[in-house]
Amino acid sequence: MSAVSASARRAAAIALVPTAVATALALVVLRVHFQPPSLSRYVESTGGGDSDGAGGVTLAPVSLQPDGRFEMELRPTAPVRGAVGARGFLLNGDDVRPWDPPLSVSIDGIVRVVGPVERLFAGIPTGTWDVAIAVGRPEFLPTAPNDVVQARDHGREGSGWQLLIKRIRLGGSSSRAP
Protein backbone atom coordinates (compact mmCIF):
# COMPACT_ATOMS: atom_id res chain seq x y z
CA MET A 1 0.00 0.00 0.00
CA SER A 2 2.86 2.39 0.73
CA ALA A 3 4.31 1.64 -2.75
CA VAL A 4 1.02 2.69 -4.35
CA SER A 5 0.83 5.92 -2.41
CA ALA A 6 4.48 6.72 -3.22
CA SER A 7 3.87 6.23 -6.94
CA ALA A 8 0.64 8.21 -6.69
CA ARG A 9 2.56 11.06 -5.06
CA ARG A 10 5.17 10.92 -7.82
CA ALA A 11 2.47 11.05 -10.49
CA ALA A 12 0.84 14.04 -8.77
CA ALA A 13 4.18 15.83 -8.58
CA ILE A 14 4.85 15.16 -12.27
CA ALA A 15 1.40 16.51 -13.15
CA LEU A 16 2.05 19.68 -11.13
CA VAL A 17 5.26 20.61 -13.00
CA PRO A 18 3.53 21.46 -16.32
CA THR A 19 0.85 23.36 -14.41
CA ALA A 20 3.47 25.42 -12.58
CA VAL A 21 5.34 26.14 -15.85
CA ALA A 22 2.11 27.19 -17.58
CA THR A 23 1.20 29.46 -14.67
CA ALA A 24 4.66 31.08 -14.68
CA LEU A 25 4.45 31.71 -18.44
CA ALA A 26 0.99 33.21 -18.09
CA LEU A 27 2.23 35.57 -15.36
CA VAL A 28 5.17 36.69 -17.52
CA VAL A 29 2.88 37.34 -20.50
CA LEU A 30 0.48 39.34 -18.33
CA ARG A 31 3.37 41.31 -16.77
CA VAL A 32 4.78 42.24 -20.17
CA HIS A 33 1.32 43.15 -21.46
CA PHE A 34 0.38 45.43 -18.57
CA GLN A 35 3.89 46.72 -17.80
CA PRO A 36 6.26 46.44 -20.76
CA PRO A 37 9.95 46.41 -19.78
CA SER A 38 10.78 49.54 -21.75
CA LEU A 39 9.42 53.04 -21.22
CA SER A 40 8.83 55.93 -23.55
CA ARG A 41 11.60 58.48 -23.87
CA TYR A 42 12.00 60.93 -20.98
CA VAL A 43 12.95 64.60 -21.30
CA GLU A 44 13.83 67.24 -18.77
CA SER A 45 11.03 69.77 -18.49
CA THR A 46 12.65 72.29 -16.12
CA GLY A 47 14.58 75.26 -17.37
CA GLY A 48 18.16 76.19 -16.69
CA GLY A 49 20.06 74.20 -19.27
CA ASP A 50 20.07 72.91 -22.81
CA SER A 51 19.58 69.19 -22.27
CA ASP A 52 18.39 67.01 -25.11
CA GLY A 53 17.10 64.42 -22.59
CA ALA A 54 17.60 60.62 -22.63
CA GLY A 55 21.32 60.57 -22.11
CA GLY A 56 21.87 64.15 -23.20
CA VAL A 57 24.09 66.36 -21.10
CA THR A 58 23.25 69.96 -20.36
CA LEU A 59 25.63 71.90 -22.58
CA ALA A 60 26.34 74.81 -20.23
CA PRO A 61 26.54 74.12 -16.49
CA VAL A 62 23.83 75.62 -14.34
CA SER A 63 25.43 77.57 -11.51
CA LEU A 64 24.15 76.64 -8.04
CA GLN A 65 24.92 78.60 -4.91
CA PRO A 66 24.70 77.07 -1.40
CA ASP A 67 21.72 79.27 -0.51
CA GLY A 68 19.93 78.42 -3.77
CA ARG A 69 17.41 75.82 -4.81
CA PHE A 70 17.84 72.90 -7.20
CA GLU A 71 15.00 71.56 -9.32
CA MET A 72 14.91 68.86 -11.95
CA GLU A 73 11.75 67.43 -13.49
CA LEU A 74 11.74 64.55 -15.95
CA ARG A 75 8.64 63.79 -18.01
CA PRO A 76 7.79 60.88 -20.28
CA THR A 77 7.04 61.82 -23.89
CA ALA A 78 4.10 59.37 -23.93
CA PRO A 79 1.78 57.95 -21.27
CA VAL A 80 3.40 55.39 -18.97
CA ARG A 81 1.90 52.11 -17.83
CA GLY A 82 3.20 50.29 -14.80
CA ALA A 83 5.77 51.07 -12.15
CA VAL A 84 8.45 53.70 -12.70
CA GLY A 85 11.45 54.19 -10.45
CA ALA A 86 14.37 56.60 -10.36
CA ARG A 87 17.86 56.55 -8.90
CA GLY A 88 20.32 59.46 -8.65
CA PHE A 89 24.06 59.66 -9.24
CA LEU A 90 26.67 62.41 -9.31
CA LEU A 91 29.41 62.13 -11.91
CA ASN A 92 32.72 63.94 -12.17
CA GLY A 93 34.68 62.36 -15.02
CA ASP A 94 34.72 58.62 -14.32
CA ASP A 95 34.03 59.19 -10.61
CA VAL A 96 30.45 58.06 -9.93
CA ARG A 97 28.83 58.70 -6.56
CA PRO A 98 25.45 57.31 -5.56
CA TRP A 99 23.17 60.25 -4.79
CA ASP A 100 20.07 59.90 -2.66
CA PRO A 101 18.01 63.07 -3.11
CA PRO A 102 14.31 63.15 -2.31
CA LEU A 103 13.10 61.80 -5.65
CA SER A 104 9.36 61.67 -6.19
CA VAL A 105 7.66 59.72 -8.95
CA SER A 106 4.03 60.57 -9.73
CA ILE A 107 1.43 58.12 -10.99
CA ASP A 108 1.92 59.69 -14.44
CA GLY A 109 5.61 58.74 -14.33
CA ILE A 110 6.89 62.29 -13.76
CA VAL A 111 10.13 62.29 -11.75
CA ARG A 112 10.99 65.31 -9.60
CA VAL A 113 13.88 66.27 -7.38
CA VAL A 114 13.55 69.62 -5.64
CA GLY A 115 15.29 71.06 -2.63
CA PRO A 116 17.86 73.43 -1.18
CA VAL A 117 21.31 73.14 -2.73
CA GLU A 118 23.12 72.98 0.63
CA ARG A 119 21.03 69.96 1.68
CA LEU A 120 20.94 68.09 -1.65
CA PHE A 121 24.66 68.48 -2.29
CA ALA A 122 25.98 68.34 1.29
CA GLY A 123 29.55 67.04 1.33
CA ILE A 124 30.01 67.39 -2.44
CA PRO A 125 33.07 69.49 -3.38
CA THR A 126 32.59 72.66 -5.41
CA GLY A 127 33.13 72.38 -9.13
CA THR A 128 31.36 70.99 -12.18
CA TRP A 129 29.29 67.84 -11.74
CA ASP A 130 26.80 65.89 -13.81
CA VAL A 131 23.55 65.16 -11.99
CA ALA A 132 22.47 61.84 -13.52
CA ILE A 133 19.02 60.42 -12.93
CA ALA A 134 18.31 56.88 -14.10
CA VAL A 135 14.61 56.44 -14.87
CA GLY A 136 12.99 53.12 -15.65
CA ARG A 137 11.42 49.98 -14.31
CA PRO A 138 12.52 49.59 -10.68
CA GLU A 139 13.99 46.13 -11.24
CA PHE A 140 16.18 47.37 -14.14
CA LEU A 141 17.66 50.53 -12.55
CA PRO A 142 21.47 50.53 -12.41
CA THR A 143 23.43 50.13 -9.22
CA ALA A 144 26.93 49.61 -10.64
CA PRO A 145 28.94 52.78 -11.33
CA ASN A 146 30.28 51.28 -14.56
CA ASP A 147 26.72 50.97 -15.95
CA VAL A 148 26.12 54.67 -15.30
CA VAL A 149 29.40 55.71 -16.98
CA GLN A 150 28.63 53.52 -20.02
CA ALA A 151 25.13 54.97 -20.28
CA ARG A 152 26.53 58.48 -20.11
CA ASP A 153 29.20 57.80 -22.69
CA HIS A 154 27.19 55.67 -25.14
CA GLY A 155 23.57 56.54 -24.43
CA ARG A 156 21.10 54.05 -23.07
CA GLU A 157 17.46 53.71 -24.01
CA GLY A 158 15.03 50.88 -24.51
CA SER A 159 16.53 48.42 -22.03
CA GLY A 160 14.32 49.10 -19.07
CA TRP A 161 16.00 52.37 -18.03
CA GLN A 162 17.50 55.55 -19.41
CA LEU A 163 19.86 58.16 -18.06
CA LEU A 164 19.15 61.90 -18.04
CA ILE A 165 21.92 64.28 -17.15
CA LYS A 166 22.07 67.90 -16.07
CA ARG A 167 25.46 69.58 -15.72
CA ILE A 168 25.82 71.85 -12.71
CA ARG A 169 28.53 74.00 -11.16
CA LEU A 170 28.47 74.04 -7.38
CA GLY A 171 29.58 77.28 -5.77
CA GLY A 172 30.85 78.74 -9.04
CA SER A 173 29.59 81.29 -11.49
CA SER A 174 28.03 80.69 -14.86
CA SER A 175 26.46 82.74 -17.59
CA ARG A 176 23.14 81.04 -16.83
CA ALA A 177 20.91 81.64 -13.83
CA PRO A 178 19.68 78.63 -11.83
Question: What are the residue boundaries of the structural domains of the chain, listed by start?
Answer: 1-34, 42-170
DSSP string of the chain?
-HHHHHHHHHHHHHHHHHHHHHHHHHHHHHHHHHS-SS---EEE-SSSS---STT---SSPEEE-TTSEEEEEEEESS---S--EEEEEEEETTEEEEE---EEE-TT--EEEEEEHHHHTTTPPSEEEEEEEEEE-GGG---SHHHHHHHHHH---SSSEEEEEEEEEESS--SS--
Residue 141 confidence (pLDDT) above 50: yes
Q: What is the pLDDT of residue 54?
A: 42
Q: Give Cα 79 distance to the centre of its chain.
A: 17
Q: What is the pLDDT of residue 58?
A: 47
- pLDDT, tens digit, for every residue of 67-104? 999 999 999 999 988 889 999 999 998 889 999 999 99
Q: What is the pLDDT of residue 100?
A: 94
152 neighbors 163 (Cβ within 8 angstroms): yes
**If 0-12 CB within 10 Å is exposed, 13-18 middle and 19+ buried, where does residue 118 land?**
middle
170 neighbors 62 (Cβ within 8 angstroms): no
112 neighbors 72 (Cβ within 8 angstroms): yes
Give the mean pLDDT of 17-35: 63
Mean pLDDT of all residues in the chain? 81
pTM reported for the whole predicted model: 0.71
- pLDDT, tens digit, for every residue of 104-131? 999 999 999 999 999 999 999 999 999 9
C-alpha distance from residue 86 to each of 11, 42, 112, 137, 141 (Å): 47, 12, 9, 8, 7
Q: What is the pLDDT of residue 6?
A: 77
Give the domain 42-170 fold: Immunoglobulin-like (2.60.40)
Q: Give Cα 23 distance to the centre of its chain.
A: 30
Residue 175 confidence (pLDDT) above 50: no
